[in-house]
């Protein structure tokens, strides 16, 4: 290192007028290069996000509908991270049980999943109808807002596959101007409740259609038992336990926030992870 009291003057500190023209030109080119690179980064990130969505298993027609509404699409893409999964061996052999609201009466013998639709009769589906859709299994860390968590292994059908198969969740004739696909827009929320309406949740549509959200009928490869939500429950890994409604009786779509059992008792409505 130089020990002189005057630090050696570097060319960068010279007044610009003193610099040879070739140096100035080189610097301008360099500066422009940095500028071009900096502008390319956000574009690159956007491209990466929009393309990785397809790679994570969102079905084309569904994406079209989602893309139809720019605001929804933005939230949807940003919510589209996947939660961490584990090998099957990591799952608890005996899953913990918590919460019996809406489960106090026996499971209705004539249980059907009621799905409300706009300007149409509700769908009344059997468990076999649900099982006819592709099966999806997930092993992940289930988290209860009360402070416990457990790695659990669930099986069922993706809610997004179900919504696509039965053409649900869209608001007819709500296509926006300037929307080239002409697709209907999605409702903002999905509501679920137990057959006796003793427990109920509302969920933003982006989280509901997340590729890891499932209508579950199996736990550890076995049919669900009553305390875990037989015959069909929601498993939504991007949310805390409270939103994972057990024993689904009815599903509906809405632009207004569906009422929510724990939100009414002071918890955050979205309780996302
Ligand atoms: N019908 C119903 N579903 C429910 C609840 C409930 O009380 N009733 N409790 C919720 C809460 S707080 C949690 S943590 C999970 C627990 O699911 P598990 O009993 O399968 O562990 O279910 C959720 N779904
Ligand atoms: Mo919970």
* Ligand 1 pocket test, candidate residues 241, 248, 250, most atoms within 8 A of CB: 241
Does the structure show a pLDDT above 60 at 135?
Answer: yes
More confident residue, 46 or 137: 137
Which whole number is the average pLDDT over 153-170? 98
Contact 31, 23 (CB under 8 A): no
Q: Is the CB of 157 under 6 A from ligand 1?
A: no
pLDDT at 62: 63
Who contacts 219 (Cβ-Cβ below 8 Å, separation ≥6)? Answer: 95, 152, 153, 154, 155, 225, 228
Q: Is the CB of 195 under 6 A from ligand 1?
A: no
The answer to whether the bond into 231 is cis (omega within 30° of 0) is: yes
CA of 198 to the centre of ligand 1 (A): 12
Average pLDDT, the chain: 82
Going by pLDDT thresholds of 50, 70 and 90, the confidence category of residue 270 is very high
CA of 144 to the centre of ligand 2 (A): 4
- Considering only 24-38, 195-209, 224-238, which range has the smallest mean pLDDT? 24-38
Q: Is the CB of 144 under 6 A from ligand 1?
A: yes
- Tokens describing residue 220: 């550890």
CA of 219 to the centre of ligand 2 (A): 17
Supply the DSSP string of 111-159, one letter for each residue.
--EEEEETTEEEEEE-HHHHHTSPPEEEEEEEE-TTS-EEEEEEEEEEH
CATH superfamily for domain 60-265: Oxidoreductase, molybdopterin-binding domain (3.90.420.10)
């Amino acid at each position: 290192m130089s020990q002189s009291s005057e630090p050696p003057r570097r060319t960068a500190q010279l007044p610009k007028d003193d610099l040879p023209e070739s140096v100035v030109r080189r610097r301008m080119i360099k500066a422009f290069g940095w500028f071009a690179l900096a502008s390319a980064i956000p574009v690159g990130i956007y491209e990466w996000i929009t393309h990785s969505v397809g790679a994570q298993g969102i079905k084309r027609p569904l994406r079209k509908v989602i893309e139809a509404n720019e605001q929804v699409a933005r939230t949807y893409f940003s919510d589209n991270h996947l939660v961490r999964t584990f090998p099957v061996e990591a799952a608890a052999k005996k899953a913990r049980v918590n919460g019996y609201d809406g489960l106090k009466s026996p499971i209705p013998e004539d249980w059907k999943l009621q799905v409300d639709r706009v300007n149409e009769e509700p769908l009344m589906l059997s468990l076999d109808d649900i099982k006819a859709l592709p099966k999806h299994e997930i092993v992940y860390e289930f988290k209860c807002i009360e402070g416990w968590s457990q790695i659990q292994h669930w099986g069922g059908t993706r809610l997004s596959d179900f919504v696509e198969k039965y053409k649900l969740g869209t608001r007819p004739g709500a296509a926006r101007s300037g929307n080239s696909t002409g697709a209907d827009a999605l409702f903002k929320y999905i509501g679920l409740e137990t057959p006796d309406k003793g427990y109920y949740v509302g969920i933003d549509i982006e989280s509901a259609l997340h590729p890891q959200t499932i209508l579950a009928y199996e736990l550890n490869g076995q049919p669900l038992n009553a305390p875990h939500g037989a015959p069909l429950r929601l498993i939504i890994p991007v949310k805390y336990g409270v939103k994972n409604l057990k024993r689904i009786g009815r599903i509906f779509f809405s632009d207004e926030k569906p009422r929510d059992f724990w939100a009414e008792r002071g918890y955050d409505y979205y309780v996302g992870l």
